[in-house]
Structure 1
Amino acid sequence: MRIESVRAVPGVSGFYFDDQRAIKAGADEDGFAYAGEPVTNGFDAVRQAGEALLVELELSDGSVVRGDCAAVQYSGAGGRDPLFRAEEYAPVVEGPVADALRGRDPRAFADNVSVVELLPSAADDGQALHTAVRYGVSQALAAAAARVRRITPTGVFAEAFGTAPATDPVPVFGQSGDERRRNAEKMLVKGVPVLPHGLFNSEAKLGSDGGRLVEYLAWLGERAGELGPDGYRPQFHVDVYGTVGEVFGPPYDRAEVTDYFADLAAAADPYPLQVEGPMDAGGRSEQIAAMAELRDGLDGAGVSVDIVADEWCNTYGDVQAFVDAGAADVVQVKTPDLGGIQRSARAVTECDGTDTRAYLGGTCNETAVSARACVHVALATDAAQILAKPGMGFDEGYMVVTNEMRRTLARRERADRAVPADGSGGGRR
């Protein structure tokens, strides 16, 4: 069996590209769009349509497998790769990428993704391919290995990294978008394990003193008791996009800051709380220092709020640095930003044996294909939680991720039951 051809078709993603710098600088909402000029290179508007590049690998038996190149909503911010244009990169996938993969054995997943990681973005610049390209092509390569070997992609990742896959569903994290009340209520009715994200990406949403977030968490806790199923105890997780740091400023271990986090914990009580991206310190080393300072301050004050790394935690090396420094209780493995999907799997395993948990995240701006691929990474590595994606309507992304996980667990359970008494044949798939 071999890879016969590689094709690429520009498509659409599940959300939009947003100029985070312009939004944080105060771009006015104009209905669903934003008024004003973009400030990040590559953007034509503060909010513009998301794009994806649809990759197909045709194998020598005539079968076709897929992966989707996608980039995060806030491209070009926080040390991430620039805005991804599908039309621009289609010739790259059908040219140098196809040339490197054509004729290769699809079963050799690790070798094939390594080849893609080493390809330059252009013949003379020495830079790696855009993370979105590596992300989508690697998904297709994982699907090819699974197809030929007749196992799940979970099995492909587990064998590649020597992990014991999860036997129970990984908790799914729902994201609400700006419909933070209506969509949160949807999540509560469905008993979503982790919620609601909240999208507190400006001071106006957080409140000039942070009070709007306190009020929101109090409302959320009340509604969880009213709408959730019996025995429901979700994990609350809100993303503040650095706005807490903008409101309070450093040092982050002082009483004013820890008292605010105590107010957040009290508002969320009795539900545990995670706060993502409390500040944006402008660089990786600065962010690690600020996060560690806050975490130490909260520990010293006895405030039970977990801190989640996002800003400046983009690459595999970034994840390593945050984990090694003990700068976060949870690190988001932001799948499109790491490039090849195998790097996301490796990043999750970096948290094994540490005090840091791995949240396999990504972005609302992905596709159903990339979301399903990430489910297999989460199962193979037994991540602490996985993002419901794509889109910001909640229901659709939650359905995509949850159903793929349940299908996979059921298939692997059936394979276990098929193992003969002597242990030959069958096995985890």
Structure 2
Amino acid sequence: MQIEAIHATPGYSGFFFDDQRAIKDGARQDGFTYDGEPVTDGFDEIRQAGETIVVDVELADRTVHRGDCAAVQYSGAGGRDPLFTAAEYAPVVEGPVAEALVGRDATDFLDNAELLEELQVEGDRLHTAIRYGVSQALLTAAAEARRTTKTDVLADALGAEPATEPVPVFGQSGDDRYTNAEKMFVKGVPVLPHALINSVEKIGRDGETLIEYVEWLVDRSQELGPDGYEPRFHVDVYGMIGELFGAPYDRDEVIDYFAAIEVAAAPYPIQIEGPMDAGGREDQIAAMVELREGLRSAGVDVDIVADEWCNTVEDVRAFVDAEAADFVQVKTPDLGGIHRSGQAVRYCEGTETQAYLGGTCNETETSARACAHVALATNAAQVLAKPGMGFDEGYMIVENEMRRTIARRKRDCTTTETDEITADD
């Protein structure tokens, strides 16, 4: 089935773009927005509306298949591509991208997605958001042309065996970290709450606010969770532990703080994402290795999760090879083509590092559904509920897409077995 045309329509994403450095530097919140001037290139405001490009891939049979270009909330930070604006990049999709893909066979998903990865415009690779969104549309087109699921197309492309049950979903609370966590407890969400600890105010001058919050999580989970509920806590601190203790920090003090986090979370496991931001990949890996080895030596059972400076497939491999983290976040928009996220998850297989298929609140329902298929195809350790910061919507989208796909695959398998028996008769 031939690709006939590719169309690009500017739209909105599920959240906002935030200037992370300005926020870390102390920008004060004014209601939902922030006072002050942005410091990261490309930003007009510290918080500005998230954007997307809706990509439509039209096939020869006149069917149209969609993907959404999206970039992370904290664009331009931690080694990521710059701020993504639809007006700037829509002409690239309808120009060089369309020229490269029109006329190709839509069933050749991996070849088409790899061509997109290698494509350059004026000597530069395409923005990660473009590769991400167009590859989603290519995946959907391939699945429809082959009359199968996106999970199966990805599994074939990656040489993977798909999961037979939904992958544990990780709920994110946004700043409403108490009310949204309570919603998660009531629904029995397996991994939670993210918590968005991105300022001194939220972690506490001495880290006490985070400890108190974790203690509250334990108490409320036991009060509100379903029978037999055993959550795994996952808190993203955006490098604030490193900010708290300064650099160079006293290793024993940091280990003691993690030990206090472990005690606060008991009897449940806890993982801390982005404990520090060392300013570059090699320095970040070295800092994470030192911390992980220190926690092991002290017998502190808190997992650490790589986020900052772990953006591309190559970055993921570097963190995994160095054994720098217990989990790596595969931050889907930052890897470009959606198959690259699958490749990153698969690289973790057989290592000491587990793959957390993440992304951002600033995606769309289309990209979130596509990522649910990556999670199933690779059987990732956990997958992020997205988009948005309201929790319920993102959880519904990702969880239901996985359940729907698993049910369809079971029906297809039963139908195939029945057909084979009939043919034998």
1:146-187 alpha-carbon deviations (Å, 9 max, x no partner) = 000011010001000110000011000000000000000000
Post-superposition offset of 1:127: 1.3
Q: What is aligned with 1:310? A: 307
Counterpart in the other structure of 1:377: 374
Q: Is 1:28–2:28 an aligned residue pair?
A: yes
Cα 1:221/1:165, change in 2 over 3 Å: same
Contact 1:253 1:296 in 2 (8 A): no
Letter in 1 for 2:345: V
Aligned to 1:150: 147
- Relative distance call for 1:253 and 1:372 in structure 2 (3 A) is farther
What is the letter of the counterpart of residue 370 of structure 2?
A
Q: Root-mean-square deviation (CA), in Å?
A: 1.4
Determine the structure 2 residue equivalent to 1:263. Answer: 260
1:263 to 1:57, Cα distance in 2 relative to 1, 3 A: same
Q: Which amino acid aligns with 1:89?
A: Y
Contact 1:221 1:269 in 2 (8 A): yes
Secondary structure at the aligned position of 2:125 is classed as coil
After TM superposition, the score normalised by the length of structure 1 is: 0.97
2:239 is the counterpart of 1:242:
yes
Change (3 A) 1:59 1:278: same
Q: How far does the alpha carbon of each residue in 1:28-49 deviate from its partner, in whole angstroms, 9 at most, with x for none?
A: 0000000000000000000000
Match of 1:166 in 2: 163
Q: 2:421 and 2:41 mapped to 1: Cα distance?
A: 57
Distance 1:420 1:342 in 2: 29
Cα deviation digits, residues 15-59 of structure 1 (max 9, x gap): 000000000000000000000000000000000000000000011
Alpha carbons of structure 1 residues 127 and 396: separation in structure 2 relative to 1, 3 Å: same
1:76 aligns with 2:73: no
Is residue 2:63 matched to residue 1:66?
no
Letter of the structure 2 residue corresponding to residue 254 of structure 1: R
Q: Is the 8 A contact 1:142 1:156 kept in 2?
A: yes
Counterpart position of 2:290:
293
Which of 129, 133, 150 lines up with 2:130 in the alignment? 133
**Aligned-residue offset at 1:420:** 2.6
Identity across matched positions, percent: 69
Q: Residue 285 of structure 2 aligns to which amino acid in structure 1?
A: I
Who is 1:325 aligned against? 322
Please list every run of at least 4 consecutive aligned residues from structure 1 whose deviation after the TM superposition is greater than 6 angstroms: none
* Offset, 1:117: 1.1
Q: Which amino acid aligns with 1:111?
A: D
1:212-263 CA-to-partner distances (Å, cap 9, x unmatched) read 0000000000000000000000100000000000111356682211110010
- Structure 1 contact 176–394 (Cα < 8 Å) conserved: yes
Give the match for residue 197 of structure 2. 200
Counterparts of 1:227 and 1:425 in 2: how far apart (Å)? 50
Query: 2:394 maps to which residue?
Result: 397
Alignment partner for residue 228 of structure 1, among 204, 225, 229? 225
Aligned length: 423
The answer as to 2:69 corresponding to 1:40 is no
1:158 maps to a residue whose letter is A
Distance 2:233 2:227 in 1: 17
Give me the TM-score of the superposition, normalised by structure 2.
0.98
- Any idea what the Cα deviations from partners look like across 1:71-126, whole Å, max 9, x if unmatched? 00000000000000011111110011111111110000111111111211x3x3x1
Instruction: Name the SS of the counterpart of 1:103 in structure 2.
Output: coil
Partner of 1:420, secondary structure, is helix
Q: Secondary structure at the match of 1:419?
A: helix
The CA distance in 1 between the partners of 2:376 and 2:103, in whole Å, is 30
